[in-house]
Amino acid sequence: MRGRASIRTGTSSAAGSPGAPGLPEGANALLEARQEPLERGSSDDVEELREELARPGVVVRDERRRQYRRALPEAGPAAR
């Protein structure tokens, strides 16, 4: 699973510690906040936090109550 990481409660970075490499600032906190409603099955909260993560370019895929995330590369001059 190159370029992806699983975020689960208890295994992600603690609040105040450095985030996962390659993620925008604040993304880890959103991923941690998203884990609880994901485990509860609260699809509205999960989707809302997915949209929040998409703003800075983080894509999240869910599988069996796990989050797999990756940051999209920044668009350079050739992409414009």
- Residue 64: Cβ-neighbour burial (10 angstroms; 0-12, 13-18, 19+): exposed
Q: How far is CA 9 from CA 27, 72, 77, in A?
A: 15, 23, 38
The pTM is what?
0.67
Task: Please determine, for residue 10, whether its predicted confidence score (pLDDT) is greater than 70.
Answer: no
Domain boundaries, the chain: 5-71
pLDDT in tens, 41-80: 999 999 999 999 999 999 999 998 999 999 988 755 554 4
